[in-house]
Amino acid sequence: MILSGASRLAGIMGWPVTHSLSPRLHGFWLERHGIDGAYVPLPVRPEAFEAALHALAELGFRGVNVTLPHKEQAARACDQVDATARRIGAVNLIEFRDGNAVGSNSDAFGFIENLRQNAPAWRAEGAPAAVLGAGGAARAVIVALLDAGVPELRLANRTPERAAALAETFGEHVRCVAWGERDAALEGCGLLVNTTTLGMRGQAPLEIGLEALPADAVVADIVYSPLETDLLARAEARGHVAVEGLGMLLHQARPAFEAWFGVRPEVDQDLRRFVLAGLGGA
């Protein structure tokens, strides 16, 4: 796309940002919709974050995505933060409006949209959900599942204090389960979600016995490199619907693209293939 003097600009602030798939993802949609705009990588050191954010507003950027390690700092630096981002405690999407930085978080949206697209028969209200992990991504997944109407969320994390802190934040529907009891906690669940880093390329696989999981339960992994984790392969072999993490990444980008470029884009196989090529065939 050839830019003009009126091009709309957006980008992703991170440190480092070299491995981000977002420029490729937004670039695909810009081409598809013939939009006069650009989405660029913005490597920003943590100590320079606030100054860089203000400079981008001054430079006429429509907004930015924010990734590691800036998501919590972004929540403090924005002039306004919406309710979802406040509950998650992190901002991944900023719009500049009349000189103000307005922060939100589209990770919960990305998670639930991916789940609904790839496991359309799943009903939130139907049964408890088991969530493994209590890091930054777990917060977005918990918000998504509670907002969708999951009646009980069983949360297991290697470090129990972190799970207990999340249960305290998110209230009575979140019940902590000891990490060592994670196999038995799957009894009666309609959904299992891995939000730990286990199963990522270079990390140990997630060890969990799936025997107690009902046959119609859905298994989701938010790890997307590799695309098919050991957990998803084992779930599929048992006949569960298995939902990959890449779709969460693709869907979380939709509200951002719409906010800056004015078109609500779709997630389809062409986009998935194009972004996957940037993952080096994960």
Annotated catalytic residues are 71
Q: How far is the CB of 245 from ligand NAP (least distance, A)?
A: 4
Note whether 17 binds ligand NAP by CB under 6 A.
no
- CB neighbours of 189 closer than 8 A, spacing ≥ 6? 127, 128, 129, 130, 154, 213, 214, 217
Interface of this chain with ligand NAP, residues 223 to 252, rule: CB under 6 A: 223-224, 245, 248-249, 252
**20 versus 195: smaller Cβ distance to ligand NAP:** 195
CA distances from 179 to 93, 132, 155 (A): 32, 8, 9
Note whether 159 binds ligand NAP by CB under 6 A.
yes
Q: Are 142 and 155 in contact, with CB atoms under 8 Å apart?
A: yes
Sign of the CA dihedral with 224 first, then 114, 120, and 30 last: negative
**Binding window for ligand NAP (CB under 6 A); candidates: 6-14, 46-54, 118-126, 218-226:** 218-226
Give me the amino acid identity at 108.
Answer: A
Interface of this chain with ligand NAP, residues 85 to 114, rule: CB under 6 A: 107, 110
**35 versus 196: smaller Cβ distance to ligand NAP:** 196
Note whether 136 binds ligand NAP by CB under 6 A.
yes
CA distances from 85 to 38, 56, 146, 258 (A): 25, 21, 14, 18
**7 versus 117: smaller Cβ distance to ligand NAP:** 117
Show the 3-state SS of 103-149: EECCHHHHHHHHHHHHCCCCCHHHCCEEEECCCHHHHHHHHHHHHHC
Note whether 134 binds ligand NAP by CB under 6 A.
yes
**186 versus 248: smaller Cβ distance to ligand NAP:** 248
Note whether 16 binds ligand NAP by CB under 6 A.
no
Strands 37-43 and 8-14: parallel
**57 versus 242: smaller Cβ distance to ligand NAP:** 242
DSSP H/E element including 43 = strand 37-43
The binding track of 190-209 with respect to ligand NAP, each residue x by CB under 6 A or -, is: -----xxxx-x---------
Q: Are 247 and 16 in contact, with CB atoms under 8 Å apart?
A: no
Rule CB under 6 A: which residues touch ligand NAP?
Answer: 107, 110, 133-138, 157-159, 162, 195-198, 200, 222-224, 245, 248-249, 252
